[in-house]
Chain A
Amino acid sequence: TQLLEQSPQFLSIQEGENLTVYCNSSSVFSSLQWYRQEPGEGPVLLVTVVTGGEVKKLKRLTFQFGDARKDSSLHITAAQPGDTGLYLCAGEYNQGGKLIFGQGTELSVKP
């Protein structure tokens, strides 16, 4: 069974703090994607990482793919209330619409 362990499950922080979300597996992925989902909506893609060791930045968000392509992290600098939401990592093994999702991290940023 292919599993993605995502941690922490819940995170409540103050505006301005930094945070890191982790996504780990024993399996190797062809790519790993990070999504953000707000209540009443479907997940929206933030980034896709493909190469081992790859680092991508999206404003205050930094995404890293592990060298062995089994793990990834999302780091948010100076979190803002607008960052509140459910963050999901998803691993892709073969091309197509099948992704294995982590359990998600429910982030709450208080002003």
Chain B
Amino acid sequence: KAGVTQTPRYLIKTRGQQVTLSCSPISGHRSVSWYQQTPGQGLQFLFEYFSETQRNKGNFPGRFSGRQFSNSRSEMNVSTLELGDSALYLCASLGSNTGELFFGEGSRLTVL
């Protein structure tokens, strides 16, 4: 069974630009969550999508948005990038029977 796939793995942007990250969950998983990981703040919840609807939302500004498609793939977008947005962005899909989160390897974003 293929794991959670995130693309791209690494990217560099400059302040003011926008970025889109993609996540393909494990086949059959309908819930996708996004987390931001930084050395200072640790892992922080961004949002969760289930069946194309946002089910939970963290405390991030409106520059952070996401969506989910009918095939459960999800994207997150960050607009007007700031230096502080540099982080590892992790996507996780939720095992429907176990409640276990399966994480991808992450997309490492550097904002210059």
Give A residues with C-beta under 8 Å from B: 31, 33, 40-45, 48, 88, 90, 92, 94-104
Contacts and interface: CB of A to CB of B under 8 A. Distances in A.
Contacts of A42: 4, 90, 92, 103-106
| Main secondary structure on B side of the interface with A | strand
B99 A48 contact: yes
Interface in B38-59: 42-45, 48, 50, 55-56, 58
Interface of B: 4, 31-33, 35, 42-45, 48, 50, 55-56, 58, 90, 92-94, 99-106
A41 to B, nearest CB: 6
Contacts of B105: 40-42
A45 B94 CA distance: 12
A42 B48 CA distance: 17
A98 B99 contact: no
B101 A99 contact: yes
